[in-house]
């Protein structure tokens, strides 16, 4: 079955751009972390960037499978400097809230259009956003509650390095 609603197609194409921007943002954050000697944070953020690219490609492929036109747009340049690793994760969590809002609006549009295949497709993204917000919030909570921030950052850097290597 083809997806013909141009408003929904346009919104899905915009979401591809937002997912690719998320990847750029997390790569920028990874580069910042690496420049601060936090290779574990950098590795973890690089993995996040890769996931965001996969999310964008998932929508790209969905549009192709539904015989809808993919229309890519320029990706905005992300922020490159932060005052601390805490600020990185504050910004990242705020960004994930915006992504969740965007996915929810897409779902609202799909429901309004009674586009049931798209509703089913978008459910995965809604579930994924719960996980994304939780991951960033957990790290931010650890950073913000640290009595000895430097010690906790070093310990967390080692833990996050494990995830970056597939752990």
Residue 158 has pLDDT above 60, yes or no: yes
Range of the domain at 144: 6-164
Q: Tell me, yes or no, whether 139 lies in a domain.
A: yes
pLDDT in tens, 72-112: 999 999 999 999 999 999 999 999 999 999 999 999 999 99
What CATH code is carried by the domain that includes residue 36?
1.20.1260.10
Domain count, the chain: 1
Task: Map the chain to HEC letters.
Answer: CCCCCHHHHHHHHHHHHHHHHHHHHHHHHHHHHHHCCCHHHHHHHHHHHHHHHHHHHHHHHHHHHCCCCCCCCCCCCCCCCCCCHHHHHHHHHHHHHHHHHHHHHHHHHHHHCCCHHHHHHHHHHHHHHHHHHHHHHHHHHHHHHCCCHHHHHHHHHHHHHHHHCCC
pLDDT at 167: 46
Q: Is residue 102 part of a domain?
A: yes
Q: Is residue 150 part of a domain?
A: yes
State pTM to two decimals: 0.93
Is residue 1 included in any domain, yes or no? no
- Residue 131 located in a structural domain: yes
**pLDDT tens across 11-66, in order?**
999 999 999 999 999 999 999 999 999 999 999 999 999 999 999 999 999 999 99
């Amino acid at each position: 079955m083809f997806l013909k609603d141009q408003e929904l197609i346009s919104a899905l194409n915009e979401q591809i751009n937002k997912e690719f921007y998320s990847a750029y943002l997390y790569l920028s954050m990874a580069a910042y972390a690496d420049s601060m000697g936090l290779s574990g944070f950098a590795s973890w953020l690089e993995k996040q960037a890769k996931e965001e690219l996969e999310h964008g490609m998932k929508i790209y492929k969905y549009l192709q499978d539904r015989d809808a036109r993919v229309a890519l747009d320029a990706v905005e340049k992300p922020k490159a400097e932060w005052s601390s690793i805490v600020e990185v994760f504050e910004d990242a969590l705020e960004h994930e809230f915006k992504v969740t809002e965007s996915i929810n609006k897409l779902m609202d549009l799909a429901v309004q259009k009674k586009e049931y295949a798209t509703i089913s497709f978008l459910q995965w993204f809604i579930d994924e956003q719960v996980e994304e917000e939780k991951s960033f919030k957990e790290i931010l909570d650890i950073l913000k509650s640290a009595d000895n921030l430097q010690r906790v950052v070093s310990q967390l850097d080692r833990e996050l390095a494990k995830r970056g290597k597939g752990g």
